[in-house]
Amino acid sequence: MSKGKLGIVVGGGPAPGINGVISSVTIEAINHGMEVIGFQNGFRHLVEGSDTHWRKLTTDDVAPYYTRGGSILGTARVNPAKKEEDMARVLKVFEKLGLTAFVTIGGDDTAYSGSQVAKRVGPGAPRAKPSDHFIRVCHVPKTIDNDLPLPEGTPTFGFETARHLGVLTTRALHADARTTGRWYIIVSMGRAAGHLALGIGKASASTISIIPEEFRDKPVTLESLSDIIIGSILKRKLVGKDYGVVVLAEGLIESIGDAGLLKALGEEALSHYGHLERDPHGHLRLGEIDFGRIVKDYLKKKLLELGQKVDFITKDLGYELRSADPIPFDAEYTRDLGYGAVKFLTSEAASQYGAVISFIDGRMVPLPFEQMIDPKTQRMKNRRVNVDSESYHCARRYMIRLEKSDFDDAAKLKQLADVVKMTPEAFRARFENSINEVPYA
């Protein structure tokens, strides 16, 4: 006899390890006597009220995919909490199918969607009578961006695999840059935080990595971004190296913003690089804008004004990382997370609150949704790179970029100015504000 029915939904973009979570959740739930069903394509069909786009999952169905990339249930960026009528249709399907437990797998938006299911039919939801539909809910955090607010040092699954493969690609491009005497501009996925860009840049020994967090409260402009890169190029020229690799977090385009891009390029020019469209969650569709080409063309223009001709090649890193087979770290980690999800859902705690599943020092720690949601925005908080950490300071120490010491040393300042045939005073006025200095103790 079934001890309940557990449903699984995958939302957001793909990430290595999704199938590992689906597999481990399914096997552990079956071992507890539960029936498991997987909904196809996230919430896409559920918001339409469809009760047919699901499949019963068995151990034989999921076991072969434990170490494979992609998602056997698909995924979609559909937000069921955007409209109350959409959520009502979702919950009606859940009630019709007799769901007693629910696992969402995804990033910040999917976590928020799961929390809203818990808010309406989970612990703490108003119930007129004991027989009213009740579902235990938890969320397994997934994103290659690593930007969910898990405890310090705890990654989201998929990040380590994406970083690993990104590093292999970047190292190969670094060798090509050295061989051909040119610069690569690599744009790494990371809408809200620069973890992936910094992780790839640091582990591949790239020339420079730039993330939104380093600007702190300073405005980010296309000009300030290009000046940082130009400074790196000029310092490399001083030591006879005409090549390098720049890693940029794609979130820089949101930091610059629509207005900033229009101010720097003009509407007609910007239209040549794509369209400013937004997804159902209100985020810019960064994939619709060729940010790398914008930076490349702007850099070439600014360098020519300084009498410098530099060859650039752009490369976007992201889509080829998202559905890769997980490396052993993520394969093991997702098994822990799936097991932990079922352990929580079958515990007394799940009757009291919905939670995000986390592991700290090898132990499963459920983090209540209420702790993970910003009370002002009512959205999941973002974990950004801590630019005051030793880890970030270490990354900066090995980058080639203009530093305060370059301007304090009169001889070095003159050498840099001579490269672009400027006076030291003019060079200082142009580039000193671009250094974004970090302290060193």
| Catalytic center residues | 145
**Sheet containing 5-10: which strands, arranged edge to edge?**
54-56, 35-39, 5-10, 101-106, 136-141, 355-360, 363-368
320 assigned binding-site residue = yes
- The amino acid at residue 52 is T
Residue of 272, 249, 263 whose CA lies nearest to 221: 263
Which two structure tokens, joined as six digits, stand for 127? Answer: 């119930």
The answer for residues whose C-beta is within 8 angstroms of residue 329's C-beta and 6 or more apart is: 160, 161
Alpha-carbon distance 378 to 374, whole Å?
5
The answer for residues whose C-beta is within 8 angstroms of residue 369's C-beta and 6 or more apart is: 111, 114, 115, 118, 119, 139, 353, 354, 355, 356
Alpha-carbon distance 421 to 294, whole Å?
26
403 assigned binding-site residue = no
Which two structure tokens, joined as six digits, stand for 25? Answer: 């959740």
216 assigned binding-site residue = no
Q: Are strands 355-360 and 363-368 parallel, antiparallel or unpaired?
A: antiparallel
321 assigned binding-site residue = yes
Residue of 383, 341, 345 whose CA lies nearest to 364: 341
Alpha-carbon distance 197 to 392, whole Å?
12
What is residue 298's three-state secondary structure? helix
191 assigned binding-site residue = yes
Alpha-carbon distance 198 to 204, whole Å?
10
144 assigned binding-site residue = yes
Strand partners, 240: none
440 assigned binding-site residue = no
Q: Quote the distance between the C-alpha of residue 230 and its chain's center.
A: 27
85 assigned binding-site residue = no
Residue of 127, 160, 123, 120 whose CA lies nearest to 144: 160
Phi, psi (deg, nearest 5) at residue 393: -60, -40
Which two structure tokens, joined as six digits, stand for 105? Answer: 């797998």
153 assigned binding-site residue = no
319 assigned binding-site residue = yes
Alpha-carbon distance 67 to 165, whole Å?
16
Listed in sequence order, the DSSP H helices in 7-49 are: 18-31
38 assigned binding-site residue = no
Which two structure tokens, joined as six digits, stand for 186? Answer: 């690599």
Binding annotation for substrate? 143-145, 189-191, 250, 319-322
Binding annotation for diphosphate? 13
Binding annotation? 13, 108, 143-145, 189-191, 250, 319-322
Binding annotation for Mg(2+)? 108
